[in-house]
Structure 1
Amino acid sequence: MKHVPFFQSSRPRNPAWQAQLFSATAAETGGVLRRNKTDVHREIDHDALLAEVQARGFHLVECGDQYVIICNPSQMHVHC
């Protein structure tokens, strides 16, 4: 999958999709969201997702064809 260039606007193409994503119970209760990268790139683009995650203080993990959003602003430690 081709990565979306950084210089593109962080404004979502589909703000309703973005609003629905971040209004999920998991986002509001400190849970975890997972979305297919293809869906994110089609609906809002990578930069818009990253901007929203950063604005909320959440964490974004990219693994394979998925984005995993940890909806908790606490410090994160990854243990392998």
Structure 2
Amino acid sequence: MINPFIQRIFQSRQARNGGLVRRNIGWVNFLASMEQLEAEVRRRGFHMFVVGDQVLILCNSGGLQVVC
């Protein structure tokens, strides 16, 4: 069963529309875990980045190209 906090992340308008979702790592670890979040991101075929104290999830399974 998916953690309710993680479920709400993917029910957000940004996630449903294939956009970018940003969450603070501290909150992720307080309400769920980075491991649970990573597993759900992988299950959905999305992309996840850690930048400083933030986790960024690209809710799109399309190709990814880093420009700079």
Post-superposition offset of 1:79: 1.0
One-letter code of the match for 1:74?
G
TM-score by length of 1: 0.80
Tell me the equivalent position of 2:40: 52
Query: Tell me, which stretches of 5 or more residues in structure 2 are unaligned?
Result: none
**Aligned residue among 36, 51, 55 for 1:67:** 55
Q: Deviations over 1:9-48 (max 9, x none)?
A: xx76xx2111111100111110000000000011110110
Aligned length: 68
Q: CA separation in 1, counterparts of 2:32 and 2:10?
A: 12
**Aligned residue among 27, 35, 50 for 1:39:** 27
One-letter code of the match for 1:17?
F
Q: CA separation in 1, counterparts of 2:41 and 2:18?
A: 13
Tell me the equivalent position of 1:20: 8
The structure with the largest helix share of the pair is 2
**Aligned residue among 12, 17, 23 for 1:29:** 17
Bigger Rg, which one: 1
Identity over aligned residues, as a percent? 35
TM-score by length of 2: 0.93
Q: Secondary structure at the match of 2:43?
A: helix
Q: List, as ranges, runs of 4+ consecutive aligned residues in structure 1 with deviation greater than 4 Å.
A: none
